[in-house]
Structure 1
Amino acid sequence: MSASGEIRLISIVLPVYNERDNLENLHNEIQKAISSLPYDFEIIYVDDGSNDGSFDILQKIAQKDKRVKIIRFKRNFGQTSAIKAGFDFSRGEIIITMDSDGQNDPADIPKILEKLFAENLDIVSGWRKERKDNIVRVIPSKFANLIISFVSGVKLHDYGCTLKAYRREIVKNLELFGDMHRFIPAFAGWFGAKVGEVVVNHRPRTKGKSKYKVIPRVFRTFIDIFFLKFFMSFQTKPMRFFGSSGIALIFISLLLAGLTLYQKYYLGVWVHRNPLLLIAIFFFLTGFQLITTGIISEFLVRIYFFSSQRPPYFVEKVIYGDEENRSS
């Protein structure tokens, strides 16, 4: 595990979607924040299918700063895919992610790195303790953080904060999809990574429009939490979940069938008048379906782990501020 003295390059990854009014000022703030740090930096902007001219602004930034790399998607693939692309195209031993809307404060970058190195952590997550969002966003977020912390065992106050620092070895082979970027600390913690948290500044959005939609985001988050629990408990052995549930239901169905026979022969209750028989049949068929699902899931898991890994995005263009890095 790398110590701070061995770090040569740090990558900063920013997903961008229709943020043209924020980009130049944000980049200036990043330059100021990292100017006094004793490391080399690369700044990776992932244009996630912007249609407001953000790409043109990014090109101008790249012309002025050779540390900039722009990854342009063919269309909008979502924040998780943008972060995944940033991981894939980065070269740094440490990778920092942050939003491009200006709400994350680049001045917190030194603080996050200090926490990472001082405590020899693998991941440091920002905690927006004084969050500058409306209550409609804050309350569901707090509730989700409690559930994620409980399910994963990795106690964080703010899984949704994009401002995080990762050691490269932790995320380089991590497969991300859906909206799973916010769960990276939970997945990494499950694999044994050391995860920490530090309070960071959170600023109100002053330019542009938020892409946050409350109901779809809340719904997707709770679906992802269910997947997280299933993944962490039965990642490589789905048959343990489906199979054990199916066997339990079949066992109950046999007990009910036995009780039905007992009632018929000893109590004189006719089968066609006994609802227990229908319940027994229902439990048996459901149990059989669960076992079948478990078998199919086992095959799908094996296909997943042995198939070639296809990235969840399509890159249209990569632009380098430093022409020498084109071959990297």
Structure 2
Amino acid sequence: MTDTLQLTVLIPLLNEDESLPELHDWITRVATEQNYTYEIMFIDDGSTDNSWEVIERLASVDAHVRAIRFNRNYGKTAALQTGFLAARGQVVITMDADLQDSPDEIPELYRMITQDGYDLVSGWKQKRYDPLSKTLPTKLFNGVSRWISGVQLHDFNCGLKAYKQKVVKSIAPTLYGDMHRNLPIVANWNGFRKIGEKVVQHRARKYGTTKFGLERFINGFLDVLVIAFVHRFSKRPMHLFGGLGTLSFFVGTVLTTYLIGEKLYNIAHQIRYRNVTDNPLFFLALVAIILGVQLFLTGFLGEMLVRQNLNKTADFQVAERIGFLDNISV
């Protein structure tokens, strides 16, 4: 097997031992029919069932299988990040391990990347087999994501996506938290503008139960806001905090000037007046000035931290690996 392959099928998983053999065989059949040079990479995100034992059996009979097992559950973003860094395929296709994503979509996704020139193609599960309690929050999340990011996709959260290798290598070091829901946004803001969409089949879950609850949508909204903030201001925090601080300080100064002017006018015209501290505007002006100074200093400190260019490395503890040389990092 060469170091550079046509295709990597990347599968993050958690407790999916029942579906893995069927998924492996399905991917193998599709890849063989298309004559791809390929690898199937499983990232076991701390499964507590027999998933790793199943993967070991698959790897023992198929040299195309590579796998990484985390010491504990770190989340889907960590699994994808690790897989992106290790992937050798010129096209990287991600899919869930629960058989709700169809490997029969692989050839068309591969063609859209290699022939149509897309940087990223996201699956769109136009017809879903999910309850209303899941589909409505999904639509709301997708609508907010489109509005904030400007990336016009119908289904940001679909696990079935295809990437050029240079895209995954570029975005992998920037991922953290639960950003897997917003990978098209991250890619777009990293300069990969040609993002496409393909209607894909959504299959009903055959084994087990879903590993995600409604809280994922709340986290997804927050992650979109974080990505927007980081993209726009991580390298220039003074533009945000300094701008807000300057505006707040200006408002406080205007109010203070008004209060002083009012008092001097009343004195000059011998008009009875109340103490400045009895006017509610005095406290509003005081708060605005103090807040302005604090925001400005926050922006200044942020600029100093950016200048230090701190590089943080991932701290995912890998327990076992299959198909990796000991002296080569993932």
TM-score, structure 2 length as denominator?
0.91
RMSD: 1.7
Q: Percent sequence identity over matched residues?
A: 36
Give the aligned residue type for 2:247.
A
1:145 matched to 2:142: yes
1:27 matched to 2:30: no
Return the alpha-carbon distance in structure 1 between the equivalents of residues 21 and 320 of structure 2: 21
Larger displacement relative to structure 2 (188-197 or 253-262): 188-197
Return the alpha-carbon distance in structure 1 between the equivalents of residues 189 and 257 of structure 2: 43
Displacement of 1:246:
0.6
Q: Which residue of 1 aligns with 2:261?
A: 262
Alignment check: 8 A CA contact 1:11 1:41 kept: yes
1:65 matched to 2:70: no
Displacement of 1:261:
1.1
Larger displacement relative to structure 2 (244-253 or 176-185): 176-185
Q: Which residue of 2 aligns with 1:274?
A: 279
Matches within 5 A, 1:294-305: 294-303=299-308
Matches within 5 A, 1:309-324: 309-320=312-323
3-state DSSP of counterpart to 1:52 = coil
Alignment check: 8 A CA contact 1:81 1:312 kept: no
Q: Deviations over 1:103-126 (max 9, x none)?
A: 111111112112222321111111
Matches within 5 A, 1:280-299: 280-299=285-304
Return the alpha-carbon distance in structure 2 between the equivalents of residues 90 and 118 of structure 1: 21
3-state DSSP of counterpart to 2:122 = strand
Q: Which residue of 1 aligns with 2:270?
A: none
Q: Deviations over 1:239-263 (max 9, x none)?
A: 1011101100000000011111122
Q: Which residue of 2 aligns with 1:176?
A: 175
Indicate the structure (1 or 2) with the bigger Cα radius of gyration.
2
Q: Which residue of 1 aligns with 2:238?
A: 239
3-state DSSP of counterpart to 1:66 = coil
Q: Which residue of 2 aligns with 1:75?
A: 72
Q: Check 1:122–1:56 CA distance in 2 against 1; reply closer, same or farther (3 A cut).
A: same
Q: Which residue of 2 aligns with 1:253?
A: 252
Give the aligned residue type for 2:298.
T
Q: Which residue of 2 aligns with 1:10?
A: 7
Return the alpha-carbon distance in structure 1 between the equivalents of residues 211 and 304 of structure 2: 38
Alignment check: 8 A CA contact 1:17 1:47 kept: yes
Which runs of 5 or more residues in structure 2 are unaligned?
267-272
Displacement of 1:309:
4.1
Q: Deviations over 1:252-298 (max 9, x none)?
A: 00001111112222242321210101000111111112112212222
Return the alpha-carbon distance in structure 1 between the equivalents of residues 217 and 304 of structure 2: 31
3-state DSSP of counterpart to 1:150 = helix
